[in-house]
């Protein structure tokens, strides 16, 4: 049993090495295109889930779709990882694991899009900013004014920092590369089916609940780091902590309100999705607040990664 598990988590140091290589790959190649996109597990899982989806279907169908999509992908990558572990040098295992973590945890593309939004705003091109923001949010940004476009960008930055970076990396450290993949597949299923619209409500119920459970702890850990790092960076530590604790439950999502409220407090602004929620009691954000939010997100990500790799390297193997 122990030998079998070693195929997926041979040592903390090898996992740390795989994570480090994955993050270097993310910097060098942030956006998957062509064949790399077609075989990307997030893409294939999303497409499969949408093809199996039927509007107004039952919860039972939703559970079956979730099990099929997540289970098939986990089985495939577990098989590849097990085959790679047969290499006595462990080089193949590290390379395969680095790829699995790379497709599970990503930051560069998100930061690049946020910076494009900032560039558009700085030259006064609101339509351009809306086009970039629309790539990362579901709401219709074309009807929003500039402060609410900026708010949408900052909200997504804080939430996606958890979903796409800190959470998969935490699960990678705890359970190896398959842990990161599992988190990403669960999050993908939520993005494919986990909506509150009538046609999705029942069939997407399990996908939404699974995502809530898996990201429950990482969302709060990340929010705490955002409040601490962001609060110190902007000299608003007390406001960041107060806003986080006061407004973290203002969203329909059990998890999303935590990192977003912490970011709102650190920036001293009010983040608002009209008709849904308000986070914080300051003014609506400007382009300068987005610039600061990007810096905070990068610092949080670097600290998270550095602490995680250090703990893995120093941990007894």
- The 10s digit of each residue's pLDDT in 154-200 is 999 999 999 999 999 999 999 999 999 999 999 999 999 999 899 99
Q: Where are the domains of the chain?
A: 2-314
Percent of the chain with pLDDT over 90: 97
- Nearest 5 degrees, angle CA 176-CA 182-CA 185? 145
Nearest to 158 by CA among 234, 237, 239, 227: 227
Q: pLDDT tens digits for 92-122?
A: 999 999 999 999 999 999 999 999 999 999 9
**pLDDT given for residue 316 in this prediction:** 84
Alpha helices in the chain (DSSP H): 2-6, 12-28, 35-38, 41-52, 59-84, 91-104, 108-122, 126-133, 146-161, 167-175, 177-193, 205-214, 216-234, 237-247, 257-267, 287-314
pLDDT at 249 over 60: yes
pLDDT > 70 fraction of the chain, expressed in percent and rounded:
98
Please enumerate in sequence order all residues whose Cβ is within 8 A of that of 150, keeping only pairs 6 or more positions apart, or say none: 117, 121, 284, 285, 286, 287, 289, 290
Q: How many residues does the chain have?
A: 317
| Predicted TM-score (pTM) of this structure | 0.95
User: In whole angstroms, what is the distance from residue 9 CA to residue 79 CA?
Assistant: 14
pLDDT at residue 125, as a whole number: 98
pLDDT tens per residue across span 191-230: 999 998 999 999 999 999 999 999 999 999 999 999 999 9
* Cβ atoms of residues 120 and 41 within 8 Å: no
One-letter-per-residue 3-state SS of 28-84: HCCCCCCHHHHCCHHHHHHHHHHHHCCCCCCHHHHHHHHHHHHHHHHHHHHHHHHHH
Indicate if the pLDDT at residue 1 is higher than 60.
no
State both tokens at 199: 């046609």
Residue 27 to residues 20, 42, 125, Cα–Cα distance (Å): 11, 18, 28
Distance CA 171, CA 267 (A): 29
Question: ∠ at Cα 288 (283, 291), nearest 5°?
Answer: 120
pLDDT higher than 80, residue 317? no
Confidence of residue 273 (pLDDT cuts 50, 70, 90): very high
Average pLDDT over residues 235-247: 97
C-alpha span between 231 and 274 (Å, rounded): 26
The span from the CA of 18 to the CA of 14, in Å, is 6
What's the CA gap between 34 and 38, in Å, rounded?
6
Question: With bands split at pLDDT 50, 70 and 90, how would you rate the model's confidence at 4?
Answer: low
Residue written as token pair 């705890």: 174
pLDDT at 111: 98
Is the model's pLDDT at 3 over the cut of 80?
no
Q: What is the pLDDT of residue 27?
A: 97
Tell me the C-alpha to C-alpha distance, in Å, between residue 130 and each of 139, 152, 174, 260. 11, 10, 38, 20
What confidence tens digit (pLDDT) does each residue in 6-65 have? Answer: 889 999 999 999 999 999 999 999 999 999 999 999 999 999 999 999 999 999 999 999
């Amino acid at each position: 049993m122990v030998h079998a598990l070693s195929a997926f988590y041979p040592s903390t140091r090898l996992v740390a090495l795989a994570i480090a290589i994955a993050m270097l790959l993310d910097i060098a190649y942030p956006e998957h295109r062509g064949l790399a996109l077609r075989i990307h597990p997030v893409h294939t899982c999303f497409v499969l889930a949408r093809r199996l989806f039927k509007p107004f279907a039952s919860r039972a169908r939703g559970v079956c779709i979730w099990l099929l999509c997540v289970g098939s992908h986990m089985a495939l990558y577990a098989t590849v990882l097990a085959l790679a572990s047969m290499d006595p040098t462990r080089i193949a295992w590290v390379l395969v694991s680095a790829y699995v973590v790379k497709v599970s945890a990503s930051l560069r593309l998100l930061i690049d899009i946020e910076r494009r939004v900032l560039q558009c705003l700085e030259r006064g091109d609101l339509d351009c900013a809306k086009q970039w923001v629309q790539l990362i949010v579901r709401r219709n940004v074309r009807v929003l004014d500039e402060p609410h476009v900026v708010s949408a960008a900052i909200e997504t930055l804080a939430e996606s920092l958890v979903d796409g970076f800190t959470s998969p990396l935490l699960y990678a450290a705890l359970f190896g590369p398959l842990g990161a993949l599992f988190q990403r597949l669960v999050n993908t299923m939520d993005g494919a089916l986990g909506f509150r619209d009538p046609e999705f409500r029942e069939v997407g119920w399990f996908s939404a609940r699974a995502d809530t459970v898996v990201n429950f702890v990482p969302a709060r850990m990340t929010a705490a780091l955002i409040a601490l790092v962001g609060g110190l960076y902007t000299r608003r530590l007390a406001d960041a902590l107060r806003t986080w604790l006061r407004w973290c439950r203002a969203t329909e999502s059990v998890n999303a309100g935590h990192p977003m409220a912490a970011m709102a407090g650190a920036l001293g602004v009010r983040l608002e999705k009209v008709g849904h929620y308000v986070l914080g009691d300051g003014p609506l954000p400007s382009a300068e607040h987005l610039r600061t939010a990007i810096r905070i997100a990068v610092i949080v990500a670097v600290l998270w990664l550095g602490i995680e790799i250090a703990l893995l390297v120093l941990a007894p193997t």
